[in-house]
Every structure is written in structure tokens, then in C-alpha cells.
Amino acid sequence: MTKVNQLGYVGITASDRDQWEPYATDVLGHEISPDSDPANLYLRMDNYHHRLVVQPGDRDDAAFIGWEVSGPSAMEEIAARVEAAGTGVKAATPGEAEQRHVIDFVQFVDPNNGIRTEIYYGPEMLFTPAFLPRRPMSGYVTEGVGLGHVVTYVKDADAAARFYQAALGLEVTDWVFVKAVGLKLAFLHCNQRHHSLAFFENPSPPRGIHHVMFEGATIDDVGTGFDLCRDRELVTAQLGRHCNDRTFSFYFRNPGNWHFELGWGSRLIDPDNWQVQYYDGMRARGGEWGHDGIMNVS
Ligand code: FE
């Protein structure tokens, strides 16, 4: 079955776009693309033209999530499966594709989280000049595994997982259940990254997105990032290690007042030989250790 092969980009609507520029360089170490304009602040973190784009808006949330496929036939196949699942799909205009710096994409509103979802192929690559982090750090892990991961709120995690399996070809890696508080999370993969997408079940979510995770290339990238965020009072969950993807990470606030996670050492899986698993989130507070404050990350 044709599948998406990586989480490609995330669009963000921002009520205060101006705050994002210094934050992107000084905290995330991302480069601001010279192609940015008032409507699109393009942020670069690897050999892709950009991985994040911040657009002015009246609320703070994810505006769209882009999933990469190998080419036009894969894009059309997935579009047909989304339509077969009962969700309307729209082709991008040439102007929209140009704005995304991809050859082409199709779009639909994810019925599970209300976030516009885009299936694209042909991202613009940029090897020269090479990505140069704007804060002292070695860089980000994205090669073959994509931007990182996104976690979105959904009302029904089982339905969301079924939709992504049937339409986009992602597979469930594992579940985390916190039965005492009725919490349920689904983690899905589309490559060796343990999860590129996760669903946080919540009947009355504050927004569509819960957090976006970036993976630093070294443990020091997380450590120096933690210091930066601590000094700016942005930390929302302390350093810790997750039970399922084994990522060493912390969470911090972005200018939209929702969360990013900066991690290191994320587990790779063999997607061709994987069996679904689950974790009891009540053991060790949902993590191997640390992540104090994570229950308040919302
Ligand atoms: Fe995460």
C-alpha cells in the first residue's frame, strides 16, 4: 500500500508573528529564510527549504501539517483513499504549491483534529549554503525520518488511528493508557522514527495541536537548549525520558503559548516487522524518569 514517507512540514498560525523571529533563531537555532515575507515566515532546520512556516492569524495553533510522498502517483492514490474515507480533497493551485516550495500537493481538513492536512511531493532542497544553526548546537536529526513528530488532540484516538492507517498508510506503533484519568494516546509511524504522529484523546481540546517535537543531533543540543529555555522561563516539563520512544527530552513554550519538545536519542524501529504494543502510563509517571510538569503540558 502506498504510504506517506515522512512528516515534512508544519504550518503555524500566530497571533504575534513578530515574536516568532527572534524565538526561531535564538531558542530553536533555526534559520529564517530570505524568501520569507509578511505572510510566510519560513524556518529552516536542515537541507529542506523550510520545515516550519509561521503565518499571521487571529489564533495560535497548527495551520497545516504536510506529509511527504514519493511522487505524483502516490499523492493521487492517497487522495483517492482520503476521499473513499468520506473526506473531500482539494488540489493545490500552482500559487499555493509555490508558496510551500513543493512541486505539488493536495489538501483536506483532517476530520479528527480539524487541522488542514497536506500530501505533497517534490520539496525544494537546499544544500548550499548548508544549514547553519543560529544558536550554538550541532543540528537536527531529520534524514530519512522527517521533521520530528506532531501530537494533535482528537476526540476519538481509535477513529483517528483507523483513518490514518486506511488513508495515509501510517501504522500504530503503540498506545499509552492512563486508565486512572481515562487518558489514551496513540503513536503512529511512517518510517523508522518511533512515531511521526500521535493522538492525545481529549473531549474538549484547547486547540488542534498539542506539541511538535524536534530531535537534536547530540545530547548537548538538548542540554544547551534546556539552559536557553530555563533562562527565558519557557520550560514546561523538565528533562526526562519517555517510556515508549525512549527520547530524552524536555518541553517548552513557544510564542503561541503551546508547546515544543526538544529531544535526543529517539528510538528507531523496524517498520516492516513491527507489532503493536502498549504502555501503562501510571507506571513511573508515564516516563522512565523525569518530565516533571508533563501532566500540565496542554
Ligand atoms: Fe513528543
Residue among 74, 105, 101, 103 at smallest CA distance from 89: 105
Identify the three-state secondary structure at position 99. Answer: helix
pLDDT of residue 282: 79
Centre of ligand 1 from the C-alpha of residue 211, in Å = 7
Q: What is the mean pLDDT of residues 236-253?
A: 96
| Contacting residues for 253 by C-beta, under 8 A, at least 6 apart | 234, 235, 236, 259, 260
Pairing between strand 248-253 and 116-123? Answer: unpaired
Distance (angstroms) between ligand 1 centre and the Cα of 196 equals 9
Ligand 1 mean position to 212 CA, how many Å? 7
Rounded distance from Cα 124 to ligand 1 centre (Å): 27
CA distance 60 to 209: 9
**How many whole angstroms from 165 Cα to the centroid of ligand 1?**
20
Q: Domain-by-domain residue ranges, the chain?
A: 6-123, 149-296
As a whole number of angstroms, the distance between CA 99 and CA 90 comes to 16
Taking the centre of ligand 1 as the mean of its atom positions, its distance from the CA of residue 163, in whole angstroms, is: 21
pLDDT attached to residue 76: 98
Question: What are 154-172's pLDDT values in tens digits?
Answer: 999 999 999 999 999 999 9
pLDDT over 90 at 263, yes or no: yes
- Domain topology for 149-296: 2,3-Dihydroxybiphenyl 1,2-Dioxygenase; domain 1 (3.10.180)
pLDDT tens, position by position, 66-85: 999 999 999 999 999 999 99
- 207-234 pLDDT, tens digit per residue, is 999 999 999 999 999 999 999 999 999 9
CA-based angle 259:229:56, to the nearest 5? 45
C-alpha 250 – ligand 1 centre gap (Å)? 9
73 C-alpha to center of ligand 1: Å?
Answer: 31
Comparing 6-123 with 149-296, is the CATH topology the same?
Answer: yes
CATH 3.20.190.10 fits 6-123, yes or no: no
Per-residue confidence at 103, pLDDT binned at 50, 70, 90?
Answer: very high
Q: What is the Å distance from ligand 1's center to 262 Cα?
A: 8
Between the CA of 103 and the centroid of ligand 1 the distance, in Å, is 29
* Integer Rg of the chain from CA: 18
Ligand 1 geometric centre to CA of 68 (Å): 20
C-alpha 151 – ligand 1 centre gap (Å): 7
Given the DSSP bridges, would you call strands 235-242 and 61-68 parallel, antiparallel or unpaired?
unpaired
Mean pLDDT, the chain, integer: 96
